[in-house]
Amino acid sequence: MDRDNHFDFFHYDKCDLCGECFYRCQYLKFNKKTAVEEMKKLIEGKPSKVLKKCISCNACNNFCPHGCRPYELITRRWHKRYRRNGLPVRAEYLMPSTTSNFRTDMVNRMSKREQELVETWYKTPPEGELVLYPGCNTLALPHLLDASFMEGVVIAGDWQHCCGEMFFRMGLYDEVKRTAEKLTGYYEDKSIGTMLFPCPACLNMFTNVLPEQFGAEFKFKTKYLGTYLLEKIEAGEIRIDREFNQKVTLHDSCHARILGEEVMEGARQILEYTGVEILEMELNKEEGLCCGIAAGANRYSPFDIVFSSFKELWQGQKTGAREFALYCGGCNITFNLCRWFFPTRQPIRHLLDYLKEACGESGYNPSQKRSKFMLFNILVKSFPRLLSNKTFWISRG
């Protein structure tokens, strides 16, 4: 049995080999018998079909009736692979640890107003009763937080204090541990009441993954920005001046499924306040599909990302909804990138875009246009290394 106790987060004693985690997976497509057999192989450290077909969506943790964390059983094997082989150099430009990466290179493409916002967030000390952590994806699309309903919230963050979500999804546990230590040290002497998170991925990392599995210690409370905004809407502190009266479909992020109804239902309630009617996809909420970005965590293949994204974009198009809505910054970037290859009829809009317009503010939404430049940079800086056999380790430079 593969149990050296190093970053071993799977609860062996709770697992009764029911197979539910892999049986319900929308990507593995196992029958119950195969699901049980493959779980046995993973526990015993043997080769498994799961390791080849998993797209790192984390849904299996949600499906497990006993909270065994089968996802970490998979990513731990990837952790060992990384320690042994490193990452292919084609992945280097996509890593948050790289100073110049596919997100940071977008700053010079931003409007002057957005550049000023990002610069202000860099310099603002993260202290106060309400502090918002923008995270990498919101830093790449700062217009989302340029709204009157953010008044009274201190927005503070920079690229250097990434939550480590990408590392976690890829099984780069050593890097996640370093992230936990770095963030613990950074926030140790900061006076923060509640930290707000616009991105479910960052929220899950700060609330669950970093403290429970990697020893991070945070003194502040954590809260989803959508929950905070919904409370203000219901209290009459955010006024809806315009209703859209249109049909949209809604994509749920992988981390939101782990976080549960508060995030998923909260996003739906805010959209309903703006006057939209939500047409649910055939696969939604806990059974929903990934935006595709996590698919790159297994084989580091851009094609896996694109094809996985297509599946969800097609799900959305089949609803007949006028627009494709979402509430995760990472999903926003991924779908807008992949939409250049799969040009659906549905514009892609973030929850905060709807709320801003509903409050009578600017409908400025640069996501699709900006993704064009992002895609160009990826093609120029990452694709030429696609066939290279060279590898690298993040902590070794």
CA 74, 63, 286, 135 dihedral sign is negative
Which residues sit opposite 197 in a β-bridge? 224
Domain boundaries, the chain: 20-86, 92-382
pLDDT for 117: 97
pTM of the predicted model as reported, rounded to 2 decimal places: 0.95
Q: Are strands 87-88 and 391-392 parallel, antiparallel or unpaired?
A: antiparallel
Give bridge partners of residue 324 from the DSSP assignment: 249, 348
Q: What's the pLDDT at 332?
A: 96
User: Which residue has tokens 């020893």?
Assistant: 215
Q: Which tokens hold the place of 114?
A: 């957005």
Look at residue 5 in the predicted model and tell me its pLDDT.
58
Classify the C-alpha dihedral 297-303-306-310 as positive or negative.
negative
Low-confidence ranges of the chain (pLDDT < 50): 1-3, 397
Six-digit token string for 160 = 């250097």
The 10 Å Cβ neighbour count of residue 313 is 24
The per-residue pLDDT for 395 is 80
Strand partners, 223: 196
Query: What is the distance in angstroms between the CA of the first residue and the CA of the last residue of the chain?
Result: 33
Model pLDDT, residue 396:
54
What are the phi and psi torsion angles at 135 (to 5°)?
75, 165
Contact call for residues 368 and 348 (beta carbons, < 8 A): yes
Give me 107's structure tokens: 């700053």
98 token code pair: 């790289």
Q: Which two structure tokens, joined as six digits, stand for 389?
A: 């056999």
Q: So what's the pLDDT on residue 2?
A: 47
Round to whole Å and give the CA distance between 299 and 196.
Answer: 33
